[in-house]
Structures are given as structure tokens and as C-alpha cells.
């Protein structure tokens, strides 16, 4: 039950992240480089504040009773590999998102995530039953049916960047299975990611003619863009990723991979609610297929 609740909350956060990114970048409120920098900064600040309160409470508990588990929690500081994966995911996603249609980007991103996480799950001897393989194929078919109408032939560089983003996210998710404190691991991962901020700013100040991207300038950053980047960082990323890291140890890699196919469905629903986007019959059909297949897959215990 805990795994289900944490997973649903995390998936909603992922979908909200997609919504914030779409609103900020597609509307031209901010450039991709500035969006990524502010997103990382706001997530780090938010998590450091929460971690400080959390550590204070844990230390008070340790005074009342000597618990080795509390020391283990306080010593969990994430890893550099997770932080690098986080930066690669966030930056490549933001840059490629501007150049790709929603359907194209989602197909490439989640294909890379699925291949990475399910491939790792099979490598770790996570066996899938015949019913689960069938459910997986049906879910992917429903996902392709949902996203294909809005897909278009992407540029090679943009497609490669989105694929790199998906692989990096798959690696970041897999790394979450070994964390002791999801909050502290996520917080320290974001804090380490700030090392990349000066590099991002430096590269962003240059013209990236190959992809037709504009450089960072004060004129390209609006108050709406800053607010959306902060919401993406502090709420959808910082808190959302902490919850995802809480769910990961409770899930198999294959389960964690397939449930993420629900993200485009949730993101579309949020778009209908908050952006007045149109709800179509193909979307309803595809959503029912995806959600049904994911449910069958996760309820099957032979994984």
C-alpha cells in the first residue's frame, strides 16, 4: 500500500514537472539553460531547508535513544554518480524539449527510460511472467498510440539529447534503490548538482547555432519563467524526487519502469485541467489501455 501511494504521488510530481516545463519553455517565458539553473538552485535550497529541520529532529531522537539507524540516515549523502545523472537528465531534457514536439520527445524519453531500467532489471535477474510481458507490450502499444499522432521527425541532435536524458533518468532512478534516507540522498544530490551551475551559465552565454538556440539574456527571463522554474525545482523535482526515492526500494526495476508510462497520461490530464487543452477520444482509449496494462503488470507478483 505504501509503495502504491508513494508511486502515485511521485508520478503526479513528474507530470507536474512536464507541465511546468511546457508552460515555461513553450511559451518562451525563459530559456532552457536559465530554466535548468533555477530549477536546480530552487530544488537544492528547498531540500536543504527541509533537511536541516529533519536532521535536527533526528538528532533529538538520538539523544533520547541511541539508535544506529538514525546515524545511518544522517550519513546518507547521496552520490556523485546520481548527481551527474540528475544534471544530465535535467539539462538534456530542457534543451531537447524546445526542439521536439511533445509526442516525439515523450516517445524518445520514455523509450530510453524503459530500455535502461528494464534492461537493468533483467540483468539483475528480475524475471517477468508471460502475463507481465503481455501487459508490458500492451502498455507500450497504448503509449505509442497516444503519443504518435503528435510525433514528427526529430533532428538528430535533439533526439540524441532526449535519449541521453532518458538514460540518465533511468540511472538516477535505479540508484534510488540503495538509498537509506530518500530525503537526504535527494537533497545532497541536488546540492552536488550546483557544481555544474557555473558551467551551465558559461555555455548558455554562448550561441548554440547548431540547434538554433538563443543564448542566455536578461530579456529572455520573465517573472513567469522564474516562478515556473522554481515550482519545477522546489516542488515537482525536489520533493517529488524524494518521494520517488522512497518508492524505489519498494519496487522492482521493471515495475518502476513501466509505471512511468502513466506520466504522459497524467500530464495530459493536468493540461486539460490547468491549460484548457482538449480531451479527445483517442486519449481516453489510450489512457484506459495504458493504465489497465500497468495495473495488470504491477499486481502480478511473479517479478
277's grid cell: 487543452
Residue-range definition of the domain harbouring residue 136 = 2-299
What's the mean pLDDT when you consider all of the chain?
85
176's grid cell: 534510488
13 in Cβ contact with 235 (< 8 Å)? yes
Residue 228, classified by CB atoms within 10 Å of its CB into exposed (0-12), middle (13-18) or buried (19+), is buried
pLDDT of residue 218: 60
As a whole number, mean pLDDT of residues 249-262 equals: 92
pLDDT of residue 134: 93
pLDDT of residue 56: 85
Within 10 Å of residue 59's Cβ, how many Cβ atoms? 11
Residue 250, classified by CB atoms within 10 Å of its CB into exposed (0-12), middle (13-18) or buried (19+), is middle
What percent of the chain shows pLDDT beyond 90?
A: 44
Kindly report the backbone phi and psi dihedral angles of residue 213, in degrees, each rounded to the nearest multiple of 5, phi listed first.
-90, 145
Burial 190-207 (b: 16+ CB within 10 A, else e): bbbbbebbeebeeebeee
Domain count for the chain, please give it: 1
Within 10 Å of residue 43's Cβ, how many Cβ atoms? 32
Decide if pLDDT at 303 tops 50: no
CA distances from 113 to 128, 170, 236, 273 (A): 18, 5, 19, 27
As a whole number, mean pLDDT of residues 68-92 equals: 87
Decide if pLDDT at 216 tops 80: no
Decide if pLDDT at 212 tops 50: no
- pLDDT tens for 267-277 read 888 888 887 87
Contacts of 105 (CB under 8 A, 6+ apart): 96, 97, 154, 162
What percent of the chain shows pLDDT beyond 70?
A: 89
pLDDT of residue 87: 92
Residue 28, phi-psi category: left (phi > 0), alpha (psi -120 to 50), beta (remainder):
left
As a whole number, mean pLDDT of residues 203-227 equals: 65
- The whole-model pTM stands at 0.86
Residue 258, phi-psi category: left (phi > 0), alpha (psi -120 to 50), beta (remainder):
alpha
123's grid cell: 540483468
Give the separation between CA 68 and CA 65, rounded to whole angstroms: 10
- pLDDT tens for 104-150 read 788 888 889 999 999 999 888 888 888 989 999 999 999 888 887 77
Which of 125, 131, 122, 99 lies closest to 214 in space, CA to CA? Answer: 99
Decide if pLDDT at 209 tops 90: no
74 in Cβ contact with 55 (< 8 Å)? yes
302 in Cβ contact with 129 (< 8 Å)? yes
Which of 181, 36, 146 lies closest to 98 in space, CA to CA? Answer: 36
3-state secondary structure 185-242: HHHHHHHHHHHHHHHHHHHHCCCECCCCECCCCHHHCCHHHHHHHHHHHHHHHHHHHH
Decide if pLDDT at 278 tops 50: yes
- pLDDT tens for 12-21 read 999 999 889 8
Amino acid at each position: 500500500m505504501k509503495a502504491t501511494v508513494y508511486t502515485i504521488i511521485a508520478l503526479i510530481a513528474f507530470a507536474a514537472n512536464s507541465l511546468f516545463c511546457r508552460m515555461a519553455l513553450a511559451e518562451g517565458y525563459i530559456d532552457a539553460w536559465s530554466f535548468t539553473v533555477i530549477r536546480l538552485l530552487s530544488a537544492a535550497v528547498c531540500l536543504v531547508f527541509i533537511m536541516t529541520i529533519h536532521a535536527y529532529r533526528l538528532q533529538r531522537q538520538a539523544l533520547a535513544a541511541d539508535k544506529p539507524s538514525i546515524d545511518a540516515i544522517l550519513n546518507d549523502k547521496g552520490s556523485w554518480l546520481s548527481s551527474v545523472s540528475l544534471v544530465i537528465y535535467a539539462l538534456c531534457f530542457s534543451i531537447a524539449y524546445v526542439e521536439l514536439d511533445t509526442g516525439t520527445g515523450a516517445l524518445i524519453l520514455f523509450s530510453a527510460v524503459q530500455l535502461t531500467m528494464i534492461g537493468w532489471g533483467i540483468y539483475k535477474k528480475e524475471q517477468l511472467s508471460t502475463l507481465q510481458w503481455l501487459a508490458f507490450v500492451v502498455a507500450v502499444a497504448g503509449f505509442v498510440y497516444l503519443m504518435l499522432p503528435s510525433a514528427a521527425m526529430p533532428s538528430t541532435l535533439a533526439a540524441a539529447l532526449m535519449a541521453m536524458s532518458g538514460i540518465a533518468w533511468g540511472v538516477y532512478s535505479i540508484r534510488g534503490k540503495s538509498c537509506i534516507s530518500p530525503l537526504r540522498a535527494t537533497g545532497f544530490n541536488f546540492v552536488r548538482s550546483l557544481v555544474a551551475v557555473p558551467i551551465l551559465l558559461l555555455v548558455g552565454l554562448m550561441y548554440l547555432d547548431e540547434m538554433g538556440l538563443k543564448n542566455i539574456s536578461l530579456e529572455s527571463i520573465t517573472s513567469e519563467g522564474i516562478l515556473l522554474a522554481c515550482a519545477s525545482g522546489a516542488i515537482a523535482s525536489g520533493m517529488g524526487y524524494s518521494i520517488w526515492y522512497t518508492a524505489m526500494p519498494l519496487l522492482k526495476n521493471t515495475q518502476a519502469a513501466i509505471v512511468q508510462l502513466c506520466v504522459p497520461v497524467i500530464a495530459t490530464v493536468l493540461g486539460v485541467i490547468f491549460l484548457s487543452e482538449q480531451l479527445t477520444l483517442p486519449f481516453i482509449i489510450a489512457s484506459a489501455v495504458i493504465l489497465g496494462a500497468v495495473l495488470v503488470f504491477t499486481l502480478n507478483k511473479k517479478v
